A and B are shown apart, each in its own frame.
Chain A
Amino acid sequence: MHPAFSVVFFTTATGAGYGLLALLGVLGGAQIIPPDFWLGFIGMGLALGLIAAGLLSSTGHLGRPERAWRAFSQWRSSWLSREGVASVATFVPAGLFCIGWVFFDRTGGWVAIAGLLAAIGAIVTVCTTGMIYASLKPIAQWHSRYTLPAYLIFSAMTGSVLLNALLQGFALGSRMLLAASMLLTLLGWGWKLATWRYNDALEIATNANTATGLVGGTVRSLEWPHTEENYLLKEMGFRIARKHSARLRQITQVLAFALPVLLLAATLALPWPFAAVLSVLAAIAQLSGMLVERWLFFAEAKHTVSLYYGR
């Protein structure tokens, strides 16, 4: 699949944003994180900013963005529509929570409920995003039991690392959160490795034989129906060299997982402001790494239509 930047950025940013939102909603509402205007302002700004930027970016993928509102209508069948509905719906409790927690320094009560609802909305939204991909049968690498958890884990992971950086920045770092961020990052790493392993060993029932209905033996593409690349090849015929892919997997592992874990581990041992700097670095590294991971998520996904082209 063609790794369009708009979609790569969209899923990465909203994943992190919803992760952060969910954590702030729960922890802030429950006063585990104390209300603090600047902390809240920056935290909620970051979460909602990432979400908004991601959603905005996703409309860049649309041929007719001015009709985007129509996407809310088919929630009964379409995960994309559900994602639209959930993402917009989440803004309501998130907004209320933001007002109560950030501007009125309120916790508990309706703010806690709003925070909780925002967290649920965030999780639901991330689930719908994951399901958009997980439901696509023509793409075996996506249509697997690894996809939905991956979206949730990566959302929680990037959210927690971001939250840690935020709290460390305000010198409010908690060992619990640090540990959770590290654990989630390790979990993400493990999940990604398992996913890759699963995908690399994937025996896909759909092949050139079933695609053409020609039984047995080999089916080789002799000639395409067109000389130059068409929409199908540009959108779904993306190919990545094995070498290139291996290199990017290494970069993903270093940036998204290894480096953040190391930095976070060092954070445990270091005082503010060093802890803060390292935490922010960990977040930056992880988000960059996740962009690479998401790019690979598309690039390594093979659509069945490529079978018709001998790819």
Chain B
Amino acid sequence: MTCLPSQGGKKLGLVIDLDTCVGCQACATACKEWNTGGHMAPLTDIDPYGGTVDGVWFNRVHAYEHTTEMGGRTVNFPRSCLHCETPACVTVCPTGASYKRASDGIVLIDEDKCIGCKLCSWACPYGAREFDTDVGVMKKCTLCVDRIYNDNLTEEDRVPACVAACPTSARHFGDLGDPRSAVSQLVAERGGVDLMPELGYHPTNKYLPPRAHTRRAASVPAKALEPVRAEGGFLGWVDRMLSN
């Protein structure tokens, strides 16, 4: 059913900390690894050892240079499905393959219904959907729906693969529909933002902006160093310090 469900309270999603992401690709390959055997398996790779290699990935890490009057910064930028509140990728789907879950807000594809018309990928401004040419259906991030509720995993492992992997703790997971949740509070505290808010898709995932060159930047209130005023200069100071 591609009409959007009437929203329950729950909006599961990710929070990605651009201030901390070093661009190591761990989230991207951990995602690939989990999901190539997971709910949407496989994440086919065409020409894997050749010159036109093209694989299906649910998570891609870009790098940008952001330059403002305050200075420049290199920003590593993981990009995946944002599990929007009003996802056009769902409403454009002619078959009901693309849908948003009422219970937790996860946007999924029912592969058996997908005709591979690709319109959902056109409707998604974020490039979150990738087509598997081998089986002719669209694939996308499942928010690890086969991990977060998985009785066969120990309870502590029931988080998306990318969150579990991230070596710098730049990825967070939770219910962004609950303002008291840890992720919602993190977003509030760090000024988390929506991507392309002007398009009105109301993404659930939030990005925490880099702090360098902003008022949130780490700083040290150090006064300029002054040469020691002791007699005999520095060596005199040393002697005085030692005799104290």
Contact = CB atoms under 8 A, between A and B. Distances in A.
Given A62-B117, A63-B136, A231-B131, A213 B207 contact: yes
Given A62-B136, A70-B95, A71-B117, A138 B199 contact: yes
Contact of A213 (B4, B63, B92, B194): B194
B66 A218 contact: yes
Interface string B43-86: 00000000111111100111111111100001101010000000
Nearest to B135: A63
B51 A228 contact: yes
Interface in A207-229: 208, 210-229
Contact of A211 (B74, B196, B200): B196
Interface in A73-110: 73-74, 76-81, 84
Given A62-B115, A235-B118, A213 B126 contact: no
Contacts, number: 209
Interface residues of B, number: 71
A64 B116 contact: yes
B2 interface: yes
A63 B137 contact: yes
Contacts of A224: 62
Interface residues of A, number: 60
Nearest to A72: B94
A71 B115 contact: yes
Nearest to B117: A62
A228 B60 CA distance: 13
B91 interface: yes
Interface in B126-175: 126-127, 130-133, 135-138
Interface in A40-78: 61-65, 67-68, 70-74, 76-78
B196 A304 contact: yes
Interface stretch (A129-137, A160-168, A245-253, A266-274): A129-137
Interface in A248-297: none
A186 to B, nearest CB: 32
A125 to B, nearest CB: 14
22 contacts: A63-B115, A70-B113, A71-B115, A74-B1, A78-B92, A136-B123, A137-B200, A138-B122, A138-B199, A211-B196, A212-B77, A212-B195, A214-B210, A219-B75, A220-B65, A222-B62, A225-B57, A229-B52, A230-B54, A235-B118, A235-B131, A304-B196
